[in-house]
Structure 1
Amino acid sequence: MNRTLVMMAIAASLSIAACNDPGKQETATADNAADTSAVSQPVDMHNAANSLDLAGEYEGTLPCADCEGIKTTLNLNKDSLFTLKEEYLGKKSPAAFNSKGKWVVHKNTITLQFDKELQDRRVQYKAGENKLWLLDQEGKEITGTLADKYIMTKK
């Protein structure tokens, strides 16, 4: 019986020693340090709305299916209002359209919200430093051989 008690005492001592293993404590401490460093990492909150000076006048001649191009001038005002002038070049009778509304930014995309009869029209641009890229009807970048023709530059 004494032998059993001695064996149990040795087993208990080994168990306690294993729990206090310095190697395990260092690993646990290293794991905790890794966890806290992930929490303390700053979150990048930069986007077009807070990183770029978007207000201003942008110009470009965009492709046109049945004319020489659409000379486009977009004024983004600081009060979130816009004016858009589109002049269809090479037409027998001059065709120019002016519209206005409100512009909003979500991440790096500018969406034009038109007034009145054009309110169903959807126009979006990807914002960059002094440039806007016209996006397709689904809000995706235009690719292909004419992709560089859909860029408007800030004056």
Structure 2
Amino acid sequence: MNRSRWIVAVMASLLSGLLVACGGSPAQAEPAADTAALPAQIADTVDVDVLKQAMVGRFRGELPCADCSGIDTDLTLNADMSYQLSETYLGKGKPFVSTGKWNVVDGTRKIEIDYDKPGQGRYFQLAGKHLQMLDSDGNPVDSKLNYTLTRQ
């Protein structure tokens, strides 16, 4: 069983156990239509260890750029809480690669990379198989532009 299926199975078991413990019946819960989207369908606050496992992986996408056609972004979140971020400003040359640490923000689906470097942290929020880039305060970006990275 591959790792992502194992994580989904563990999460489903935990959620089922929670329903039974709280006295709810499984008939009251809506089944997940897409198991890949399960992490986005769970409560905003979850077990941090389960959340960390769900976030490990590689995410890619093209983010907006003020002075170029886009930023080809490749973010890998490792199980040891390290990350590697490669950003290529389209039409501007070679990629900028950075590494550091990441962590879950207050038990939510939000993460901060470079949380250990004051003033340099960047925020993302897990939404199914996507990471949504957030603003410098950890809030959704108020824009119609695409700030989404997709799990690879």
TM-score normalized by structure 2?
A: 0.63
Give the partner amino acid of 1:137. Answer: S
**1:85 counterpart letter in structure 2:** S
Higher RCO structure, 1 or 2 (CA under 8 Å, sep 6+): 2
User: 1 or 2, which has the higher helix percentage?
Assistant: 1
Q: Render the CA deviation track for 1:122-151: whole Å, top value 9, x for unaligned.
A: 2100112211000011211013321xx100
49-58 or 62-71: which moved more? 49-58
| Equivalent-residue separation in structure 2 for 1:99 and 1:77 (angstroms) | 14
* % identical aligned pairs: 33
Which residue is 1:90 aligned to?
Answer: 91
Partner in structure 1 of residue 110 of structure 2: 109
Task: Measure the CA separation in 1 of the matches of 2:73 and 2:48.
Answer: 21
* AA partner of residue 46 (structure 1): V
Q: What amino acid sits opposite 1:72 in the alignment? A: T
Partner of 2:13: none
CA contact (8 A) 2:103 2:115 kept: no
Which residue does the alignment assign to 2:98? 99
Distance (Å, rounded) in 1 between the aligned partners of 2:141 and 2:48: 19
Q: Measure how far apart 1:48 and its partner are.
A: 6.7
Q: Secondary structure at the match of 2:95?
A: strand
2-side partners of 1:78 and 1:121: how far apart? 21
Q: What one-letter code is carried by the residue in structure 2 that aligns with 1:151? A: T
**1:50-69 deviations in Å (ceiling 9; x for gaps):** 25611110001000000010
How far residue 49 of structure 1 moved from its aligned partner, in angstroms, is 5.1
Residue number in structure 2 paired with 1:35: none
* Aligned-pair CA distance for 1:95: 3.8
- 2:73 alignment partner in structure 1: 72
Q: 1:47 to 1:142 in 2, by over 3 A?
A: farther
TM-score with structure 1 length normalisation?
A: 0.62
List, as ranges, runs of 4+ consecutive aligned residues in structure 1 with deviation greater than 4 Å: none
- Structure 1 distance, partners of 2:112, 2:135, is 12
Q: Which residue of 2 aligns with 1:153?
A: 150
Aligned to 1:133: 132
Q: Which amino acid in the other structure matches residue 96 of structure 1?
A: P
1:49-90 per-residue CA deviation (whole Å, 9 max, x = no partner) reads: 525611110001000000010000000001111000000002
Equivalences for residues 22-101 of structure 1 within 5 A? 46=46, 50-51=50-51, 53-91=54-92, 94-101=93-100
In the aligned structure 1, how far is the partner of 2:64 from the partner of 2:49?
27
Q: Given that residues 81 and 100 in structure 1 are in contact (C-alpha distance below 8 angstroms), is that contact kept between their aligned partners in structure 2?
A: yes
